[in-house]
Structures are given as structure tokens and as C-alpha cells.
A = this chain, B = another copy of it.
Amino acid sequence: MAKDIYIGEVAANEEIQIDYFLMKVTLPSDFTEPLPGQFVMIRIAGLHDPFLSRPISIYSYTRGKSNCAIELLYRVVGKGTQILAGLIKGSQVEISGPLGGSYSIDHQKKNIVFIAGGIGIAPLSLLAEALCRKASYSAAAMTFYLGAQTADAVVGLNRLRKLCYNLTVCTDDGSLGQKALVTKAFQKDIKKYSPSDTVIYACGPKAMVQSLSKILDGKYLCQVSLEERMACGVGACVGCVVAVKDGQGKPAYKRVCADGPVFDLQQIIWE
């Protein structure tokens, strides 16, 4: 899994919904095929405002004859993502990656449950794709809970529909699907999934993950992808840590970029 820094070319960059963009970046073919959950650090070469690169999950990967391409699904929240949103086709971006570890797809579990909040769909979508490619899993065995504040913030639905037949959409205001928090929607169904037969993959805002942690109460195998502010993205600055229980159950600070971004939910120590 070698990583390096590459000049990518923006092949497309579309506002698919208000404030949500889908960017396709063409990369040299030696860019390593990413695993689901991995991310890249992206920046505009030579521009120091904003200063740090931004971590964005890899949403898709395709290999062409002489190059490859990744897609990034992102939400404009500040200066960095705003600048990304302004890039036109043909612009160059600097991409470092693929970075971080991945969701583990080797569990032999009957039920596969995804729980995504908002933009958290990005890594989970790539994961669902990877699982679909595995012979042992069928789209029928996978259930996807997708939540967002409003219908406008539900992105990536169409692609997901092709990967996953059991799909529950919820919004905080009921403007699409159920009117419920995604964790509540899952909780209603929880009886369907016995802890020993189930693996849960989650990604979303901290509040969602925390509430999920309460609901699962340590009984389920749950892998969750976390976000923290990052500087290096490769484990060198020790800036992006979260508190987790280490092997001996003692608290330790682990780097989201290098030790994560995917963690066992049970290990995370909430303040």
C-alpha cells in the first residue's frame, strides 16, 4: 500500500446538490488502488491559503488504460472546501494518498449494516461497492441506514440504490424518507440483527457516532470512521488523535490518519 503525492487533474466538479460537490480527479496510474475507508489529502499546489491540506474520503476509484480516477464527494463548509468547489475542469490539484487504514471486510457475518450521517456516505459507499464485488456477500444481505438533516443533504442515493437493496433514508425534518434520526431508525430495527451475526459500518458526525455507541452498548461489532483536524495525514505530527483504549484497556491517543480513520467503536473513549 504505497502512498505518494500526485498531481491530479480535475475531470469533473459538479454541484450535485446545494453545497455538495462531486469531484472526479484523474491521477497517474501508479496511484495505488484505495481500500474502502481510505482518504486523500488534497490541496492546490503552491497556494498557502488555506495553509493545510484537507482530508477527503475516497468515494470511488476507477482504473483506465493509462491513468486512474478517484471521486470525492464533499460538502462546502469553509474556506478549503469552497476553493475546491471553485475548481473547473482541467484544474490541477495535489493529492497525497491513499492514506489511512480501511474498513475490514473479512468478517464472516450474515448481516451487514451501514449507518451513514450526511457526507459520511462517502467512504461507506466505496465499502458497499467492495463488498458487492466479494462473492460471499450479496446486495440483499446489506442494509443501509442513511440520515441527513434535510432532503437537500441526502447525497449519493442513486448510486447507493444499485449497491444495496435494503435502504432506509431518514431526515431530521422528514423532507425525505422517515422523519427520524438515523440512529433512531436503526434502533427500531435492532432486533433484526443479532450481535453475533452482524457487523456494523458507520460514518457520520460525532453526535451520531456517540449516540450509536450508546445504542450498541458494546454488544455489536461496529467499525466507525472518525474525523479530526489533520496536518500531515500520515501519522507524523500526532495532531489528529482520539482517545481509545489500548490493548491493555488503558487510555491512549491514537492518530485518526494513521491508526484510523476506521476504529472499533468499542475502543473509543468519549469525554
Give the B-binding residues of A (Cβ under 8 A). 46-49, 79, 88
Contact = CB atoms under 8 A, between A and B. Distances in A.
A78 to B, nearest CB: 12
A76 B18 CA distance: 37
5 contacts: A46-B79, A47-B49, A48-B49, A49-B49, A88-B88
Contacts of A79: 46
Contacts of A88: 88
A249 to B, nearest CB: 46
A242 to B, nearest CB: 31
A46 B48 CA distance: 13
Nearest to A48: B49
A209 to B, nearest CB: 33
Contacts of A46: 79
Closest 5 CB pairs of A and B: A49-B49, A48-B49, A47-B49, A88-B88, A46-B79
A47 B47 CA distance: 10
A53 to B, nearest CB: 14
Contacts of A48: 49
Contacts of A47: 49
A186 to B, nearest CB: 41
A253 to B, nearest CB: 32
Nearest to A88: B88
Nearest to A49: B49
A48 B49 CA distance: 6
Nearest to A44: B49
A47 B48 CA distance: 9
Nearest to A83: B47
A49 B46 CA distance: 9
A135 to B, nearest CB: 49
A49 B64 CA distance: 36
A61 B46 CA distance: 33
Nearest to A86: B91
Contacts of A49: 47-49
A68 B158 CA distance: 47
A83 to B, nearest CB: 9
A47 B44 CA distance: 13
A49 to B, nearest CB: 4
